[in-house]
Every structure is written in C-alpha cells, then in structure tokens.
C-alpha cells in the first residue's frame, strides 16, 4: 500500500469512528506502530487531524469567539466588497461565519432584502434590523453557532437564492474548499446549487491549509472575494481553471 493510500485509509477511519488508536491502525493496515505515528504526524502538520494520547481525533472547527477577533480588519474589507453585489429585494443566503456576519451587518439596511442563514448570531443581528429573515433549522454546532445536518439540508432543498455568500475553514494548494465538519458538506453543496450567484468570502489565513472533507473547488463559485496575495503562477492556474478572483 502506498503512503498516500494508507493515509487516506487513516482519514476514512477517523471520519467513521471520530478517533483512532495507533496500535489498532497498525494492526488493521499491516504496518508498524512507528509508521502509523509518522503518518499521524504528517496529517497533523497538514491540519487534517489532531493528535490525542495514543492516537488521533477529528480536527474540530475553531470556536466562534476566536474567529471573531482573528483577522477582523481583513474580514471587514472583504464584507464591504461583498455588500456591493447585493441589490434591493434580493433573496440572500449567508453561510455561518464571522466574515458573513460582517456582510450581514452591512446589507441589513438594503430595502426589501430577505436573508436566509444557518448562523444564530447572524439571525439575531438581522432580526433586529428591517430586513426579512428566515432561519435554517437543524442541529446546532454550539462552538460556532451554526446549524447543519439532515433537517437543515432538507429545509434548504426547496429554496432559491439570488445570491449566496459562503465561508471556508480551509483552502488547500489545489484550490479545494475544505471543512473539518463532514455534515456541513452536503448543506453547503445543496445551497450553492440553489443560488444564481455564489461568492466565497475568505481572508488570507484560510489559504494553504487542509481539512477533512471537500466542499467544492474555487472554480465552482461565481467569484472569490479575498485579500490573499496569489503568486503569478497561482494566478495563471486560477485563470486556466476559470476562477474569478475579486481582490480587496
């Protein structure tokens, strides 16, 4: 078994069980404990898993309070650019997150808009404004204040949006959008399909990082609104893939 194949098997086992132990991985995969420890170290360094005593666990999302103060200036600039795309009477989806919270704050005074969100704090903000509000139901991830899961996905299936703004936990060097929370993947993908326009709003800190599950490619969005500085070779790759970068 090749190294990459073995590490993918490890990821799949962690996804299934939530945690794994070194000795069991070594036995199941037919390699030494030292080999497994090296694999886990590499996966941890790539930001995909977290180590625990004797094994590894699924990497958790950063708590809302920590996100809120991180890169706040960049998030405000990105939100300001995002707000330019929202028109009167639009139906707008706002993904859970602190950058989308800043978008909510800026668009809440636009006449006639309806905001749909799976973020409790965004919902509270919009509820205190003149904008109309629909809250996506479902399970609540208390650390981030976001709703996800089967019921959230079912509810969003019938909605159509003029525009949607999405966040991301990580974007890897292949320009794939990733999340540590597997159950969020299906919700994000469904809502993206139901939007006439989709924008991913991400600050520089989200790039060149890995997480467990793929949501989409950057090319799947109408535009990428970011303060990240791409190299010339990266810009060439993005252009070839049809990715529209909207720099702030």
Per-residue pLDDT tens digits for 16-52: 777 788 888 888 888 999 998 888 888 777 667 777 8
Calculate Rg over the CA atoms of the chain: 19
Considering the entire predicted model, what is its pTM?
Answer: 0.75
Model confidence band, residue 58 (pLDDT cutoffs 50, 70, 90):
low
Last residue of one domain, picked from the residues 33, 58, 83: 58
When divided into structural domains, the chain yields a total of: 2
Q: What are phi and psi of 174, to 5 degrees?
A: -100, 10
Residues 125 and 73 both lie in one domain = yes
Model confidence band, residue 64 (pLDDT cutoffs 50, 70, 90):
very low
Residues 121 and 39 both lie in one domain = no
Residues 144 and 160 both lie in one domain = yes
Burial environment of residue 178 by CB neighbours within 10 A (0 to 12, 13 to 18, 19 or more): buried
pLDDT exceeds cutoff 60 at 67: no
Residues 163 and 240 both lie in one domain = yes
Task: Tell me which DSSP letter residue 1 carries.
Answer: -
Where residue 191 falls (left for φ over 0; alpha for ψ -120 to 50; beta otherwise) is: alpha
At residue 244, the pLDDT reads: 97
Listed residue (136, 173, 185) closest to 158, CA to CA? 136
Residues 6+ away with beta carbon under 8 Å from 101: 68, 119, 121, 122, 125
Model confidence band, residue 179 (pLDDT cutoffs 50, 70, 90):
confident
Residues 173 and 229 both lie in one domain = yes
Residues 143 and 95 both lie in one domain = yes
Residues 50 and 142 both lie in one domain = no
Per-residue pLDDT tens digits for 112-164: 999 999 999 999 999 999 999 999 988 898 878 899 889 999 999 989 999 99
Q: What CATH number is attached to the domain comprising 139?
A: 3.40.50.1360
Dist CA 53 CA 47 (whole Å): 17
210 or 25: which leads in pLDDT: 25
Residues 9 and 124 both lie in one domain = no
Task: Give the domain extent around 232.
Answer: 65-247
- Please state, for a pLDDT cut of 70, what percent of the chain lies above it: 92
């Amino acid at each position: 078994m090749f190294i990459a194949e073995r590490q993918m098997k490890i990821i799949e086992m962690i996804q299934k069980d939530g945690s794994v132990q070194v000795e069991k991985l070594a036995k199941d995969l037919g390699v030494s404990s030292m080999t497994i420890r090296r694999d886990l170290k590499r996966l941890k360094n790539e930001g995909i898993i977290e180590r625990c005593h004797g094994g590894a666990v699924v990497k958790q999302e950063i708590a809302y309070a920590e996100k809120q103060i991180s890169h706040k200036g960049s998030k405000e600039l990105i939100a300001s650019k995002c707000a330019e795309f929202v028109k009167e009477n639009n139906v707008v989806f706002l993904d859970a997150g602190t950058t989308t919270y800043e978008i909510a704050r800026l668009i809440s005074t636009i006449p006639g808009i309806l905001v749909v969100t799976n973020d409790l704090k965004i919902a509270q903000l919009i509820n205190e404004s003149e904008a109309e509000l629909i809250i996506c139901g479902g399970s609540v991830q208390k650390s981030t204040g976001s709703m996800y899961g089967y019921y959230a996905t079912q509810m969003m299936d019938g909605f159509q949006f003029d525009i949607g703004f999405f966040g991301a936990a990580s974007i890897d060097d292949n320009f794939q959008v990733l999340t540590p929370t597997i159950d969020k993947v299906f919700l994000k993908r469904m809502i993206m399909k139901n939007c006439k326009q989709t924008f991913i709003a991400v600050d520089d800190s989200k790039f060149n990082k890995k997480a467990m599950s793929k949501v989409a490619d950057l090319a799947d969005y109408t535009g990428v609104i970011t303060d990240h500085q791409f190299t010339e070779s990266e810009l060439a790759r993005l252009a070839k893939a049809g990715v529209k970068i909207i720099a702030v």
